[in-house]
A and B are shown apart, each in its own frame.
Chain A
């Protein structure tokens, strides 16, 4: 009975698998900041090529890169799911994701059929291959609330990708008998709430208690929340086609459920037993607060006119905050862990890889960029100043990732180590 239990504990992927994805994500963050600097106010028109290119650079280039990096690490270690030959697969997926994001972003400006096809092929490979391997593995294990949520988030990602490819086909001039706006709305809902929000919820089930020693989430709540959200997303999809009248209600319930989770997470963070409040906790708290504000302004926008860019910015900062929170926690630990497990004498401590003071300065730049980009809706010059602050935030993250890789390989190549038999790490 133990053979099929998914018990595989010594199969953490090589550190380069994770760091390569994270490094790519941070570079796309830098690219997105430059785009924002040069595009400025034009991104407020959501149908513009500029807005579409920026959105997909952030979602595919940044979010998907960080997500795959984190999942390649988390699935084997925390869920007991071993991915075969992760290095080869991750490298291929990484390249396909980079090319797909670049082709897609350019194709919004050029409307070139060849670019559409290249973008579709690269992204289909990147998103379907990784998701397929991970979903297949995740289906075989007995689930924790976190792994179940991750599974549902990956299924949503596949769905987002299929809808995205259909949208791309329509843009490319293929005649498919589907309503473009309904398709776009479903792509949007599954992307924001099915993929990104569910992923963050699932990760929070795993790491909030673990990193910060907080009281656990209620088990029943944690088990059912992702399932309820995904069910509502499908109801939302069908109502878009068959009963448009209830569409807004269903979507609003989803938004409130995620807001409830954001509120609950803030309470958990407040109840943490660890005395130290580092930047990663503040990134989590900022992200959750940003989501609550998103839900609030979304509600308000149903009654009074509020620039949609504000609502979108709030959601973006919810997602990006968690990227920073996770990176500053995971990367220093992984470098320390892998070198320590390999038996090196001189292993840098986590603070030597990313000092908490550095992470805090990064947080201040990140929050400054948020404030400025919100104000940019009223004072145009703030688009540029805000994007510079965002650029600095992503550059600081890139620098930490780059120096972590450099330190890791320096010790790997020059460090002295114990020689003893141990399980493969």
Chain B
């Protein structure tokens, strides 16, 4: 399996969970929004952890740089985490307009972040790593837990 295939599947799953939480919020059902949002947040944070604990260190090892693209990606992860906190606050306050507004920012932020990872980092890792190296990295990422 390619690195991109494995990690892009995570991205798509997060998108689906995000859309379900947003749909619940649009209906004003905050109990359901909370459930769906927690699933989205858990899945996204787990994906970040896989990248930060396993993928980025491997990428840095391959490129010989730890202050390049991975640093920007980690910074964007922080932005997403911050936004998640604000979205959780909007759910607690049952503020539909605030949630939908923050969701809009979250969606664009995540998508442009994902696009950079998919088009650049994952693609590079796929080009550089040998098949056994890819398999080993994917196994390590599968073992990561929150």
Expressed in whole angstroms, the minimum distance between the Cβ of A115 and any Cβ of chain B is: 43
Number of A-B contacts (CB under 8 A): 87
Would you call A385 an interface residue if the criterion is a C-beta within 8 Å of the partner chain's C-beta atoms? no
Segment of B50-58, B99-107, B129-137, B138-146 engaged in the interface with chain A: B99-107
Would you call B109 an interface residue if the criterion is a C-beta within 8 Å of the partner chain's C-beta atoms? yes
**Contact mask for chain B residues 80-106; partner A; CB cutoff 8 A; 1 contact, 0 none:** 001000000000000001101110110
Whether the pair A211, B111 counts as a contact (CB closer than 8 A) is yes
Return chain A residues, CB-CB under 8 Å to B26: 275-276
Whether the pair A144, B120 counts as a contact (CB closer than 8 A) is no
Bound state CA distance, A117 and B49, in angstroms?
Answer: 60
Of B63, B69, B102, the contact of A9 (CB 8 Å cutoff): B69
Instruction: Give the size of the chain B interface in residues (CB under 8 angstroms).
Output: 37
Bound state CA distance, A273 and B108, in angstroms?
Answer: 15
Whether the pair B115, A210 counts as a contact (CB closer than 8 A) is yes
**Contact mask for chain A residues 1-25; partner B; CB cutoff 8 A; 1 contact, 0 none:** 1100101011000000000000000
Q: Which residue of B lies closest to A80 (CB)?
A: B120
Whether the pair A333, B104 counts as a contact (CB closer than 8 A) is yes
Whether the pair A7, B68 counts as a contact (CB closer than 8 A) is yes
Whether the pair A349, B98 counts as a contact (CB closer than 8 A) is yes
A 295-340 contacts with B by CB, 8 A:
329, 332-333, 336-337, 340
Would you call A240 an interface residue if the criterion is a C-beta within 8 Å of the partner chain's C-beta atoms? no
Return chain A residues, CB-CB under 8 Å to B116: 9, 77-78, 80
Question: At the interface, is chain B mostly helix, strand, loop or mixed?
Answer: helix
Would you call A341 an interface residue if the criterion is a C-beta within 8 Å of the partner chain's C-beta atoms? yes
Return chain B residues, CB-CB under 8 Å to A273: 15-16, 19
For chain A, which range describes its interface: under 10, 10 to 19, 20 to 34, or 35 or more residues?
20 to 34
Whether the pair A78, B115 counts as a contact (CB closer than 8 A) is yes
Q: Which residue of B lies closest to A3 (CB)?
A: B63
Would you call B71 an interface residue if the criterion is a C-beta within 8 Å of the partner chain's C-beta atoms? yes
Whether the pair B119, A144 counts as a contact (CB closer than 8 A) is yes
Bound state CA distance, A356 and B99, in angstroms?
Answer: 13
Would you call A422 an interface residue if the criterion is a C-beta within 8 Å of the partner chain's C-beta atoms? yes
Expressed in whole angstroms, the minimum distance between the Cβ of A269 and any Cβ of chain B is: 14
Q: A5-B124, A9-B72, A276-B100 are in contact. Are A210 and B112 (CB under 8 A)?
A: yes
B residues with CB within 8 A of A:
15-16, 18-19, 22-23, 26-27, 63, 65, 68-69, 71-73, 75, 79, 82, 97-98, 100-102, 104-105, 107-109, 111-112, 115-116, 119-120, 123-124, 128
A residues with CB within 8 A of B:
1-2, 5, 7, 9-10, 77-78, 80, 142, 144, 206, 210-211, 213, 273-276, 329, 332-333, 336-337, 340-341, 349-352, 356, 422-423
What are 9 inter-chain pairs, A to B, with CB distance below 8 A? A273-B15, A273-B19, A333-B108, A337-B105, A349-B101, A349-B105, A350-B104, A351-B98, A423-B71
Known: A7-B120, A144-B119, A329-B108. 6 other contacts (CB 8 A): A10-B72, A273-B15, A274-B19, A276-B22, A276-B23, A351-B100
